Homo-oligomer: A and B are copies of this chain.
Amino acid sequence: MSVTVVGSIAFDAVSTPFGERERMLGGAATHFALAASFFDDVRVVGPVGDDFGDAELAVLATRGTDVADVERVAGGKTFFWKGAYGRDLNSRETLETQLNVFEQFEPKLSAASRASDVLFLANIQPELQLQVLEQMGEARFVALDSMNLWIDIARDALLDVIGRVTCVILNDAELRQLTGKPNVVSAAREVLRYGPSAVVAKQGEYGAVLMTEDDYVALPAYPLETVVDPTGAGDTFAGGFVGYLARHGFEPGTLRQAMAYGTALASFNVEAFGTERVTRLTQVEVDARVAELERITQLKQAVA
């Protein structure tokens, strides 16, 4: 199988209590691809500007990710986001957003990208997500992310896309906002009624839960004493989760392991700025952290 991801490729400027970066590779599609590439062939679809160099493209291509559908817009500038995190890293402020090449972006998927069995619609305008869906072949599994802005100003289009995907991956606050239900369990249940067969609620430092028609899985975050930069954690989780499913299939047992791999990958992502940690991450490290998550969440077994 292969996984196609459509979404932002960006330069980020980030400050956290542990330091700052003026200009580093980021974007939802970037973080997703770096994680999903541990499991399967990944194809990235998204626009960049003239300012996007070969070094950045090489990072994007880590572990064999196909960057043929990364569209370099002549005369354009790459999407730029600037944000600052508060002391406990749970709150962040967006200081600047330059859409740049994203203003005119119209997704164009190559035949190879259309042929993927698995698709991740990263957080972009729901109308663009719809355009991608219409180009796709018969993907077996489509997952979607979104954000508060689209729930606010493009709710109908978003509900339209949600009705056509397999899996919705949102954070707690977004699920509450989307459904109007204050309780995350009932909010996730409501989203299942919109059409998807699985809903993942991302809960940041608290982990994530997954709900399907007849299953519920809850997983804590991997315990870290120091979080350096949370940027991209959600997309890294999605990359691990969706990538694992692409590789191993969509049975209940694989859903649980997929949650664990998403969680483990996200925990590495936040240990350093931007893509720094996941770019040089190894499969052995990921597997070890998944094993540790299994130990941490084991309720019955005594510990060695």
Q: Is A182 touching B215 in the complex (CB atoms < 8 A)? A: no
Given contacts A186-B225, A186-B226, A227-B183, are A298 and B220 in contact (CB under 8 A)?
A: no
Question: Quick one: which of B216, B251, B252 contacts A223, CB cutoff 8 A?
Answer: B216
Binds B, one of A155-163, A201-209, A278-286: A201-209
Q: How far is the CB of A167 from chain B (nearest CB, A)?
A: 17
User: How many identical subunits does the complex contain?
Assistant: 2
- Interface members, chain A 268-304 (any B CB < 8 Å): 293-294, 296-303
Q: How far is the CB of A221 from chain B (nearest CB, A)?
A: 8
In the bound assembly, the distance between CA atoms of A296 and B207 in angstroms comes to 14
In the bound assembly, the distance between CA atoms of A35 and B229 in angstroms comes to 40
Is A100 located at the chain interface by the 8 A CB criterion? Answer: no
Which residue of chain B has its CB nearest to the CB of A297?
B297
Interface size class of A (residues with CB under 8 A): 35 or more
Q: Is B297 touching A225 in the complex (CB atoms < 8 A)? A: no
Is A63 located at the chain interface by the 8 A CB criterion? Answer: no
Q: Is A223 touching B185 in the complex (CB atoms < 8 A)? A: yes
In the bound complex, residues from chain B placing their C-beta under 8 Å from that of A301 are: 253, 256
In the bound assembly, the distance between CA atoms of A209 and B217 in angstroms comes to 17
Contacts A88-B182, A207-B218, A256-B300 known; list 6 others, CB within 8 Å: A215-B303, A218-B297, A219-B297, A252-B303, A257-B300, A260-B299
25 contacts between A and B (CB under 8 A): A89-B182, A183-B225, A183-B226, A184-B205, A185-B223, A185-B224, A203-B206, A206-B207, A209-B220, A209-B223, A215-B303, A217-B296, A218-B220, A218-B221, A219-B220, A219-B299, A252-B302, A253-B302, A256-B298, A256-B299, A256-B302, A257-B299, A294-B299, A297-B297, A297-B299
Q: Which residues of A are at the interface with B, using a C-beta cutoff of 8 A? A: 17, 87-89, 176, 182-186, 189, 203, 205-207, 209, 214-221, 223-227, 251-253, 256-257, 259-260, 293-294, 296-303
